[in-house]
Amino acid sequence: MTVDYFTEDGLIKQIGLTKEYWNKVIIKEIIDNALDAIEPLNSKQIYIVQDVSSMGIYDNGNGLSCDTVKSIYDFKFYISQNRVYVTASRGKQGNGLKTIISICFLKKYRLLWHTNEGVILEGTIDPERVKDGEICVEFKEIGITQKRGIEICRYDLHQSSFYKNYVYFYSVCNPDVSFHLDYLGTEFHNPATIKCVDKSQNISLAYYDFDTFKQFITKTQDGNTTYKKFLEEYFGTRIKNKSRIKSKIKDIDFSDQEFINDFLMLKEDQQTKKYTLLKKQLIGLSNVLNTSIEIEDSNSLIGKNDMVIPCIVEFSVRKDTFKGDANRKEADIECYINNSITYNNSWSIGFDGGWYKIGNKSVYARDLDDLLKDMSNFSFVFHIVSPYLKFTDAGKTRIDITCFFNELLEKLNKAIAKENRIFSSDNKRTNNRAVMRDYVTDAFNMASDNGRYAITARQIWYKMREISGVEEKKHTYADFTQEILTEWIDDNPEYEDKVNFSDRGNFFVNGSQNGLGTANVRSFINSIGTSQNIFRCYGGISSNIHIDPDFDLIYKYDKVLYIEKTGFDAIFKAEKIGEKYNMIIVSGQGFSTRAAKMLLYKFQKMGLKLYCLHDLDISGIYILESFGTPNKKFKECIYMEDLGVTLSDVEKYHIEPEKVEIKKEDKKKLNNLSYGYRRFFDAGTFYRRVELNAFTTGQILEMLEDKLSCVNNLPTINLEDSLNIDHKAVRETAFMRIMADKYREQLEKIHIPIDLSSFKGKYTVDMAKKEIPNIEEQLIERYEREIMQKLNIS
């Protein structure tokens, strides 16, 4: 009965929580509703204000209208249609605000609604009529407001720490929301830490059983809506196009086997993406477990009500010595569910009672508090995201995670062991390379959201430092990128396209400059060979046709030049060296990167000849030789021809070598060079070198001309086989030329004044894009009528 909301025993049955929890219920429900209201916004703001006489919670959303507020006081039905959406939500049962009304009535608080019409509305419930089983409400406008939200007068005053805790915990599980607290005039702010994420559209067919899906359709749709339009609105065009049902909602027989099969087919289609939407709700904890909750319907013979519901558990484990905190006896544990707080924190996450091994001890546990409370030198944060969770009480204060607890426990123990390794006896790790190898997979998963996103090597490195304790010193990052990460990519080739090393140089193809990084190289390599040397001729009702040549790469280039330093590539571009010698130019920064070798090896396999232009110094010679020597970074041989600088170039142009201090590593390299190079470089405690910069641009261009002018291996193209003629286009173009010549003088005399005053106003780009085609069409139509009349064309 509706009056059950307005008795203490009845309300306890409705919400499952006794009276001492009701003030917490008020704040949690109002904040959850505010967060739902601002979910789609690009800037999300929550304001909590406590003064001497009232507490208010406001947001920057659209707010509720007076009519909506009045309808909430009708306890015979639910206002929110969201309760039929199966999503990973904060609640969306439609009765949260009704609960607030009931609590305020029983605790004799005044409940004020700050509406989007700018008025403060109060609904007063007659207590005498409630005794008679009736809910009679009198509404009164008591002022004006610029706020959107709820204010509660006479709310029991709490200490500032009470509100600060709420702001802190909600900020953790909603990092894209800014929270503002005004406590008796003292302000506290928790700004958003990440870019806003819209989680309001996280709806998927994969989350539904048949009965729930049927209820969703019938309770939200007008009967005249087509089923395909419904699918498109909620699940997207692709799902709409896959469905075989073309009827209006009112004409569908939901018990028909055709409709059931259609539902099961669409549901299965979305199974592969069932985690995608849930990942929007992750808050960035370091460990992520993708699991599922299986629900079987024993009465369902065809499995239409069986469900495998996706569930993601993210958690962090942090160990500290807490040497200065002698009073700390238990672990610090925080628990969140679907971007909201729990009423009882770690007591809220339960499972089958039993003995479980955690860390290096065994404990009897029925929930996370039992399991972890003795681990006093650890801090834990858990966040569970799922469109379905098994609650064990009416107040949703406790969920049962038995179905995936063993998976979680296994991953949790690994995370604890990892933390213990970090905090070894002296809290330092000596073998950084060994440590990095242990953590590279976890660092990649953290940085890429378990392989969902492409990332940079530097992003993996930051997560590596965060979870391993390795510090960034002189060689650690170079060791990581050049050795550890390269080995890991070789062992995990399926993720190579996800890891992008920064651009270390450029390459020039088809007149455009591209950064020499893994993402650009990978994209370019994937595009090679897509051209077919079919030159498409097209046109239409115009005075000309167009022939688009689609040359394949091998018909435009027969050679590649790799330069060991950037800067000269810009000179070569200005002098059109690439076009002159049919040559792709790749410029690096010293020794070639993995991306550069990937690109050059691809060119080699295509049959292009490769040249290397380098300084005449010890590193330059090793750069040239390194291409032909497989290593951990790249296991293929690349055959390069030495284009210079050579000993003969120095002699020809009378370049005076400079002397530089020889380093210890250079002495070792020098001993491995040929006699001619050793004789040139070795100058006792110094060594000689000649850089490319010692030559004038004219001299370098002359060096290229001497060595490349006689090389030409370009294949030829048979235009007879390649030209694709569009006869309709050619025919229409010929006709328009005849018509233009015939009527040119008459056309030049026709002029219509154009008045664009109706389009006066400021347009956004999107508005202008929509409006301009309409303007074009109107202008053409006016001239069509004028030309037909003046030239007597019908």
Q: How many CA atoms lie within 13 A of 75 on its CB side?
A: 20
Which has the minimum average pLDDT: 57-71, 179-193, 304-318?
304-318
Lowest mean pLDDT segment, chosen from 176-190, 334-348, 737-751? 737-751
User: Is the pLDDT higher at 748 or at 547?
Assistant: 748
| Cβ atoms 697, 569 nearer than 8 A | no
Q: Where are the beta strands (DSSP E) in 655-722?
A: 658-661, 682-683, 686-689
Which one of 316-325, 365-374, 599-608 scores highest in mean pLDDT?
A: 365-374
Token pair 């509720």 in the structure block, residue: 64
- Residue 355: pLDDT band (50, 70, 90) is very high
Element (H, E) at 125: strand 119-125
Minimum mean pLDDT range among 28-32, 279-283, 533-537, 656-660: 533-537
More confident residue, 560 or 588: 560
Q: Out of 80-94, 130-144, 216-230, 695-709, which region has the weakest mean confidence (pLDDT)?
A: 80-94
**Lowest model confidence (mean pLDDT) among 269-278, 422-431, 518-527:** 422-431
Cα distance between residue 338 and residue 220, in whole Å:
24
Between residues 445 and 328, which one has the greater pLDDT? 445
- Which of residues 306 and 604 earns the better pLDDT score? 604
Query: How confident is residue 525, by pLDDT bands cut at 50, 70 and 90?
Result: low
- Give the fold, CATH level 3, of 2-190: Heat Shock Protein 90 (3.30.565)
Encode burial over 466-501: b for 16+ CB neighbours within 10 A, e otherwise. ebbbbeeeeebbebbbbbbbbebbeeeeebeebbbb
**Whole-angstrom Cα Rg for the chain:** 36
Residue 391 pLDDT > 60: yes
Residue whose token pair is 């009704």: 98
- The amino acid that residue 627 corresponds to is F
Q: What is the pLDDT of residue 517?
A: 60
In this predicted structure, what is the pLDDT of residue 594?
74
Q: What is the pLDDT of residue 550?
A: 67
pLDDT value for 349: 94
Contacting residues for 310 by C-beta, under 8 A, at least 6 apart:
206, 207, 274, 275, 278, 290, 291, 292, 386, 387
**What confidence score (pLDDT) does residue 324 get?**
44
3-state secondary structure of 605: helix
Q: What is the mean pLDDT of residues 257-278?
A: 79
What confidence score (pLDDT) does residue 92 get?
A: 47
* Pairwise CA distance, residues 482 & 494, whole Å: 19
Q: Is the pLDDT of residue 319 over 90?
A: no
pLDDT (0 to 100) of residue 639: 86
Name the average pLDDT for the chain: 81
Q: Average of pLDDT values for 731-738?
A: 83
CA–CA gap between residue 159 and residue 372 (Å, rounded): 29
Q: What integer is the mean pLDDT of 61-86?
A: 77
Q: pTM here?
A: 0.56
What pLDDT, on the 0 to 100 scale, is given for residue 733? Answer: 81
Structure tokens at 708: 């490349």
Q: Report the range of poorest mean pLDDT among 443-452, 485-494, 648-657, 746-755.
A: 485-494
Query: What mean pLDDT do residues 708-725 have?
Result: 77
Which pLDDT does position 735 carry in this prediction? 85
Give the residue, 427 or 233, on which the prediction is more confident: 233
Kindly state the percentage of the chain with pLDDT values over 70. 86
The three-class DSSP label of residue 506 is strand
Question: What pLDDT shows up at residue 80?
Answer: 52
What is the token pair recorded at 64?
């509720």
